[in-house]
Structure 1
Amino acid sequence: MTMAEPDAGGTRRSRGSVSEDEVLLDRELADLPPEMRWREWMLRVEAVIFASAEPVSRETLARVVGRDCSIDLLIDDLLEELRSRPYEIVAVAGGWQHRTHSRFAASILASQAPTRGGAAALSDFEAMILMAIAYFQPITRSDLSKIFGKEISRDTIATLRNANFLASGPRSPTPGAPYTYVTTKHFLTAFGLQTLRDLPDIEALEDAGLLSRQVAHADPSAAIADGSEE
């Protein structure tokens, strides 16, 4: 049970509820020399990014530094400082996040140490469906079935939703107004994308043999090559 105590105005408030205004943080650090001030801001920004399980936005970082501090310049200095480390700060999903360099992936896997984050393991077919949704969203399950030439099961969609890659989009204007599916912010985070504009060009996927030469902006049912194979 949380105790309550009167505030200066005589009203009662919970000791457990502390507003943002009550958290005293000297953001400007005006009493420090410029070099020490900048260093403290760098450490604060790195600490927030390191502690967060999700990409940290510019607005969030701005809460711990001075009003005239450049977040971009702080990040640049942190990147330079981390250049020789096995991890870095990357721009992803509209924010920044700590990531281990890919060349250490084998070492981490071999260690069998528990890790945080990362993308859920998908089958090749599930990955193809996710790719189709990413390119043609918002899209219905019926339209996905047309693309792949076979029915896409609710279980497959549920797998992608449970992995937090998909969310419900607006209802389709087609008869019955079925729900559409769209990718989530977690999808961007897991695959290292800032926005959907960072998806590979359709032409690059064609060259890799993942899409047919009939790129179907108007007719997506022709878009995915070899879609009938799992």
Structure 2
Amino acid sequence: MSEIKVGLFSKNQLKSIIEAVVFSQRKPISIAQIQSLIFPDDNIKKLDIEAALELLKKDYKNKSIELVELATGFCFQTKQEYAPWVSRLWHEKPAKYSRALLETLALIAYQQPITRGEIEDVRGVSVSSSIIKTLIDREWVKVVGHKEVPGRPSLYGTDKNFLDYFGLRSLSELPTLMEPESIELIAGRLEKELTHDGD
């Protein structure tokens, strides 16, 4: 029996092409990018790509790496249980972030959109410009608008790279806060995540 064709390709060929494409990328790649960049003239539909990605997830289910969907697309990554060994490849220690930066990031993540003044009200201290600059430079935070009050201060929210970095598809996957959980505990949780990451 001949294999079912998807456009010009068999299902296995399509799956293999998509596997190679995702594997070759340093950053996550979306279904829309795969469709427009890899198959612009091949009559490959979004559903065909989704089906191939699901087959790949199953193929890698019992392996040490997995295909994951993040906020900006799909990527291969090492399964968490192998991180202690893989991290030995990097001699550099992960970047250390100050408690002030982590608390600021936690406030933005959980209370966005939020102004710098509102962050300062919760923390009880001023937020340095370098903290906001670091978060924006890392593409974890971006200006999402301006509050309609005198001075029109910037409103900050998380960027999709924040979600990718922490292995989330959407903000709804952030851990639920247990009230009254302090912002310091949230910052501690973020710090733990960053310590496990080799970035």
TM-score by length of 2: 0.77
Q: Unaligned 5+ residue runs, structure 1?
A: 1-26, 31-36, 213-223
User: Would you say the 8 A contact 2:67–2:74 is kept in 1?
Assistant: yes
Determine the C-alpha separation between the residues in 1 that align with 2:107 and 2:82: 30
Asked which structure has the greater CA Rg, the reply is 1
User: Would you say the 8 A contact 2:22–2:76 is kept in 1?
Assistant: yes
Number of the residue aligned with 1:70: 48
Aligned CA distance change for structure 1 residues 136 and 60 (closer, same or farther; 3 Å): same
The alpha carbon displacement at 1:108 in A equals: 1.6
Cα RMSD of the aligned pairs, angstroms, is 2.6
SS at match of 1:88: strand
User: Would you say the 8 A contact 2:71–2:164 is kept in 1?
Assistant: yes
Which of 25, 29, 34 lines up with 2:8 in the alignment? 29
User: Would you say the 8 A contact 2:114–2:155 is kept in 1?
Assistant: yes
> 1:1-230 maps to which residues of 2 (within 5 A)?
28-29=7-8, 37-63=10-36, 64=39, 66-67=43-44, 70-112=48-90, 121-203=96-178, 206=179, 211-212=181-182, 224=183
SS at match of 2:51: helix
Letter in 1 for 2:58: E
Determine the C-alpha separation between the residues in 2 that align with 1:185 and 1:74: 24
User: Would you say the 8 A contact 2:72–2:164 is kept in 1?
Assistant: no
SS at match of 1:85: coil
Determine the C-alpha separation between the residues in 1 that align with 2:172 and 2:95: 22
Number of the residue aligned with 2:195: none
The alpha carbon displacement at 1:143 in A equals: 0.6
Letter in 2 for 1:90: V
The alpha carbon displacement at 1:66 in A equals: 4.5
The alpha carbon displacement at 1:71 in A equals: 2.5
User: Would you say the 8 A contact 2:147–2:155 is kept in 1?
Assistant: yes
CA deviations 1:5-44 (Å, max 9, x no partner) are xxxxxxxxxxxxxxxxxxxxxx7226xxxxxx11110111
Letter in 1 for 2:115: T
Greater per-residue helix proportion? 2
Flag the structure with more relative contact order, 1 or 2, with Cα contacts below 8 A and sequence separation at least 6: 2
